[in-house]
Amino acid sequence: MKIAVACDHAGFPLKDEVISTIEQSGNEVVDLGTYSLEPVDYPDYAEKAGRAILQGQADRAVVICGSGVGASIAANKMHGIYACVCHDTYSAHQGVEHDNMNVLCLGGRIIGGELAKEIVKAYLNANFSGETRHLRRVTKIHELEDTGSIQTKNGK
């Protein structure tokens, strides 16, 4: 897989460990910056990561900001991008397997390098299950995204 990696200045200290983990897992990295500790705005980098997915330059992305929250909010504003903050391995793999998450957001000021490596591995090793109940739920997310409301309620 091709994995886009983008971060703001607060995520920059964690970026090299994330990139190394992705490469050691046999995946290709698309490095979208930032490249220093100079302050930049996280929405710009969340957008770069989302666009890389939407334009077919990456299959998934990892975006790192101070808490992961801002990057997640910004990325989720893009149609077809499903971003979540995950600071544990269960959420990282379950978000892909059940919810078809395509952007992992990490908080560079929240977690350390070793935990980030384990979370990234869990994310990379997960695949969407395609189970009927998960397809139904993801379809509802798409309906909400496209129309502003869910047409099918309560599993019907």
Identify the CA nearest to 61 among candidates 82, 77, 40. 82
When comparing pLDDT for 153 and 107, which is higher?
A: 107
Catalytic residue among 7, 9, 65, 93: 65
pLDDT tens digits along 35-45: 999 999 999 99
Q: Is 93 a catalytic residue?
A: no
Identify the CA nearest to 153 among candidates 142, 137, 131. 137
Asked whether the beta carbons of 69 and 63 are under 8 A apart, the reply is: no
pLDDT band at 152 (very low <50, low <70, confident <90, very high): confident
- Measuring CA to CA, how many Å separate 3 from each of 28, 42, 155? 6, 18, 33
Give residue 93's pLDDT: 98
Give residue 151's pLDDT: 85
State the average pLDDT for the chain: 96
Mean of the pLDDT values across residues 127-140? 95
Give residue 156's pLDDT: 55
Q: What percent of the chain has pLDDT above 70? A: 99
Catalytic residue among 7, 9, 93, 98: 98
Q: Is 84 a catalytic residue?
A: no
Asked whether the beta carbons of 145 and 155 are under 8 A apart, the reply is: no
Q: Over 90: is that where the pLDDT of 13 sits?
A: yes
Other residues' Cβ atoms within 10 Å of the Cβ of residue 42: 28
pLDDT tens digits along 107-131: 999 999 999 999 999 999 999 999 9
pLDDT band at 155 (very low <50, low <70, confident <90, very high): low
Mean of the pLDDT values across residues 47-54? 98
